[in-house]
Chain A
Amino acid sequence: MYRLQAEHLYKVFGADPEDGVRRLEAGAGRDELRESGTTAAVIDASFDVREGEIFVVMGLSGSGKSTLLRTLNGLNPPTAGRVLFDGRDLTALSPRELRRVRSHGISMVFQHFALFPHRSVLQNAAYGLEVQGVGRREREERATRALELTGLSGWGDSWPDELSGGMQQRVGLARALATDADVLLMDESFSALDPLIRRDMQDQLLELQRSLKKTIVFITHDLNEAMRLGDRVAVMRDGRIVQIGTPEDILLRPADDYVSSFVHDVDRSRVLTAGTVMEPPRRPDAGDCRCETVAPRTPLADVLQVSARVPHPVAVRDQAGEVVGVIAKERLLAALGDHDGPVTPCTGDTAHAAPPAAAPGVPAQPRKEAASA
């Protein structure tokens, strides 16, 4: 079930946008258009956003992410192409109907929070409801609830500038949640926050999402964030979408050199999960010992720790407890190092044997004792 569908969207800024689209369709590049003073911000973008998923659009600054996002709620009508919201063509709506969609169907969270400085936190959270024409009592009740959801109970009477950045963005989130619109557009909503706060907010968003099941289009330029949050990720480059896929798809099967150079710096251990790197169990008794096992969704970073403690390949169990695969240490290292294929044997004169492993249960000699001895 698709909530939002984009069909061959173009957005060109300049004196004659339609002409820009014609030239793009005829094969002209972005740079050619720029020479004549027109900016092709979005070029031929098509994608579908499914009910209940977090769809991340990722790309460098200037790649057209914000422009694309603003076509999805009609703030920025596309030069060509269509946007379907629950099957309705947004580009064909009257301004009035469009405003109705915005106040009831699709809400938005901004990069720099965009809180109204002349309204209290509660009034900010209630803004969308005020526009809908909801009565004061109900509006404040619902806004208070939204603030609770985002962990801001008791802050309603404060003013936006009295809050830290993270808290301000929670107000922004509460404002978007209060309207009960079930599609959320988030434009680099966490980019302005400190790294620690950003992680917190990401966790909180994922947590909220588990219970609220909104449909979210999330914009970011941070690949780690994209991988962490996204059920699916679209990578944009110079106005075009170059790849759409799950985070693992993007990481393991980059569509082109651009994407692969992009994913180069990613912390693979946090994106890849046990399920994607496991191999079929070679022995039927793989799960019979009492050693620790992992779930298919466990990120490799956690599998590493388990693997370090277990003397044999780590078993992967599904929810039913069935062993569905195993991960050997070599396999783990290959996945993290982005290496495909078998281990190459040594070719020198002396073949090194593996060093003797410490016996399980015996801790390594503590350094301190060694020093005092």
Chain B
Amino acid sequence: MPRLPLGDWTDSAVTYLRDHFGPLFDVISAVVSGMYDGLDAVLQAPAPLLLAGILAVLALWLRGLTAGVLAFAGLAVVVSVQQWDEAMDTLSLVLVATVITIVLAVPLGIWSARNRTVSAALRPVLDFMQTMPAFVYLIPGIFFFGVGQVPGIIATIVFSLPPGVRMTELGIRQVDEELVEAAEAFGTAPRSTLLRVQLPLALPTIMAGVNQVIMLALSMVVISGMVGGGGLGASVFTAISQVDIGLGFEAGLSVVILAMYLDRVTGALGTRVSPLGRRAMAAAASPRGTRLWKYRPQTSVAVVGIVALALTAGGMGVLGGGDEKAAVPEADDVGKGRQVDIGYIPWDEGIASTYLWKELLERRGYEPKVTQYDVGALYTGMSAGRVDFETDSWLPVTHRSYWEKYKNELDDYGSWYGPTSLELTVPSYVKGIDSLADLKGKGKQFGGRIIGIEPGAGMMKMLNDTVLKKYGLEGEYQVTTGSTASMLAQLDRSMKAKEPVVVTLWSPHWAYSEHSLKKLKDPLGAWGKGDGIHTLARNGFAGDEPKVAKWLRDFRLSEKELTGLEGAVHKAGQGHEQDGVRDWLDAHPGLTDRLAPVG
């Protein structure tokens, strides 16, 4: 069986598309991100509780008092766990994706309801879209649309389009044929038949499809959080990366609350907009049904309420004026408000150094924007020029595969911390095993497993190709693949149960301060010399911002400084990283001028 070079073809197709249709993708990207930014600005403007109130009135109008109260309570929970801004980002993302999906899905659904050929041709495409794992097209999506919300929105559209199309088609096909014939028999033109008979009767089914679209969009939130989509997805992603179960739950719960709110509201909207639904509702409203908890305001009352709250919100938003930044002294204003895009992966030293540079650049008059990514997405985004720089590349080993792939589009600004070390690690209660050589013959004890991390990590390749061989451990041990988060979770679990476990780990890592662990010695030097933590930037960044590039090239931190910085950031807590950095910088006067000298 000859190897079908399907992957290569796909690769060249993607490159071809990027090279020849770049402007088209830029336009799409601009439109989508424009929609997102606009909606997000509106949702972020009012005070959280006020907007929660507006949304609750909407629920009150659509579903009654109980729903209104529950909606407010749920949204208040989101506010109180400090996920509101993220929730509104997510809501914007979901709504934009949903609107675009519906705009595409409904006409497609109508078309395939009226044309069997279209329907037959569309079916496999829809199946493909729905079942292809989102990650597979998410990363190429970055090539076309850059990192940020857009590829997340596009991926969401691809993923949630199929049910939208299918439900529309189903809804229209379900309409009694005799009714369609009746319309025709009275001389109705085909388009009018669609508008007067088919769509109104298909509306409940179409709305069920819209509801599904929204739910699928929400389910894509985490995935888009990994490619810079931000919002609750980023919170969840951070939480799982750092095995922060508490934050994970809070962010996850916020997703659930949002989902329930959207589900109930769109469900009720479905009955509102469809004539049949309105009828059923009128029939259900018996004269005795006007008990308090069934109270639903008249449309006019609800509109007045929403407008009043919105005006208040708008007024407060204007008066509040947002959080003004302290003015940068003239002498220090190198950046003159120019924007710098910093990307990071949610590893502790990455977060700490990224927010350090955010603070430093702000103090120098720049407007830095930091965005969190999955490793693959970060490299892809930077190589496409969408991210200016990042500070957390472990080279030459850990991130070798990414570096090899993108080194032509990237500049290495050198290592700011090192050497790091890679190692296999066991809990300190595992007796009699102190070096890699000791593992031989003990495979049974560990179930023959070494808990690994992401399969793409350079460390994994090295472990499999070199380390195991040198110590004669091949065959006896299998390296499991997963993620850093799953490795840490497994470590945690084994330690709770006091079971023997061996994991791949590296220093510096917070796990060493959290748990009592033992690094296995490497007498044969199989892991080689340790990685340095490098700063990488996109080609051309040094030309655009020579000053920043120089600062980054000169950037160094000692071990004491790095642990101190990480500690301060950790103490300030998620969402307040920059405050931690400020405290730390305040405690180290002169550091700002050392790291980012104005002269």
- Chain A contacts to B: CB under 8 angstroms: 73, 75, 99-104, 107-108, 110-112, 114, 116-119, 127-128, 131-132, 159, 175, 179, 185
A-B contact count (CB 8 A): 59
- Judge if B276 is at the interface, Cβ distance under 8 Å: yes
In the complex, are the beta carbons of B181 and A131 less than 8 A apart?
Answer: no
22 contacts between A and B (CB under 8 A): A75-B185, A99-B188, A99-B189, A103-B186, A103-B187, A108-B182, A108-B185, A110-B182, A110-B185, A114-B178, A114-B181, A114-B182, A116-B179, A116-B197, A117-B276, A118-B274, A127-B183, A127-B186, A128-B186, A128-B187, A131-B188, A131-B192
Q: Which of B148-194 contact A (CB under 8 A)?
A: 176, 178-179, 181-189, 192
Partner of A110, one of B181, B189, B192: B181
A99 to B189, CA, bound (A): 7
Q: A185 CA to B176 CA in the complex, in Å?
A: 20
Which residue in A100, A118, A159, A175 is a CB contact (below 8 Å) of B187? A100
Min CB distance B421 to A, Å, is 71
Per the bound structure, the CA–CA distance linking A99 and B188 in Å amounts to: 7
Q: Can you name 8 extra interface pairs (CB under 8 A) apart from A103-B187, A185-B185?
A: A73-B185, A75-B185, A99-B189, A104-B187, A114-B181, A118-B201, A119-B275, A127-B186
What is the CB-to-nearest-CB distance from A186 to chain B, in angstroms, rounded to a whole number?
11
Across-interface contacts of B182 in A (CB, < 8 A): 108, 110, 114, 116
User: A102 to B184, alpha carbons, bound, how many Å?
Assistant: 8
A104, A108, A116, A127, most chain B CB atoms within 10 A? A116
Question: With a CB–CB cut-off of 8 A, which chain B residues contact A108?
Answer: 182, 185-186
Bound: A73/B178 CA distance, A: 15
Chain B nearest Cβ from A218, distance in angstroms: 15
The B contact surface, by secondary structure, is: helix
State whether A102 and B276 are in contact (beta carbons under 8 Å apart), knowing that A110-B178, A116-B179, A116-B197 are contacts in the complex: no
Q: Contacts of B201 on A, CB cut-off 8 Å?
A: 116-118
Cβ–Cβ < 8 Å partners of A127 in chain B? 183, 186
Candidates B178, B184, B275; contact of A118 at CB < 8 Å = B275
Closest to B179 in A: A114
Are the CB atoms of A102 and B187 closer together than 8 Å?
yes
**Bound form: Cα–Cα A174–B140 in Å:** 61
Kindly list chain A residues whose C-beta atoms are within 8 Å of the C-beta of B509.
Answer: none
In the complex, what residue of chain A is closest to B197 when comparing beta carbons? A116
A-chain residues with CB within 8 Å of residue B183 when the two chains form the complex: 127
Give the residue name and chain of the B residue nearest to A102 (CB): B187
Chain B residues lying within 8 Å of A103, measured Cβ to Cβ, are 186-188
Query: CA A112 – CA B192 in complex, angstroms?
Result: 22
Partner pick for A75 among B184, B197, B274, CB 8 A cutoff: B184
Complex CA–CA separation, A118 to B184 (angstroms):
17
Check B181–A159 contact: CB distance below 8 A. Answer: no
Instruction: Tell me if B443 counts as interface (CB < 8 A to partner A).
Output: no
Give chain B nearest CB distance to A121 CB in angstroms.
Answer: 13
Q: In the assembled complex, which residues on chain A have CB atoms less than 8 Å from the CB atom of B185?
A: 73, 75, 102, 107-108, 110, 185
- When chains A and B are docked, how far (Å) is the Cα of A104 from the Cα of B181? 16
Considering only CB atoms, which chain A residue lies closest to B282 in the complex? Answer: A159
Please tell me if the beta carbons of B186 and A131 are within 8 angstroms of each other in the complex: yes
| B314 proximity list for chain A (CB < 8 A) | none
Within the complex, the shortest CB–CB distance from A343 to chain B, in Å, comes to: 54
Are the CB atoms of B181 and A99 closer together than 8 Å? Answer: no
Chain B residue numbers with a CB within 8 Å of A102 are: 184-187
B442 sits at the interface (CB 8 A): no
Closest partner residue, chain B, to A113 (CB atom): B178
Contact B279 A159 (CB under 8 A): yes
Nearest neighbor of B201 in chain A, beta-carbon distance: A118
The answer on a CB contact under 8 Å between A118 and B200 is yes
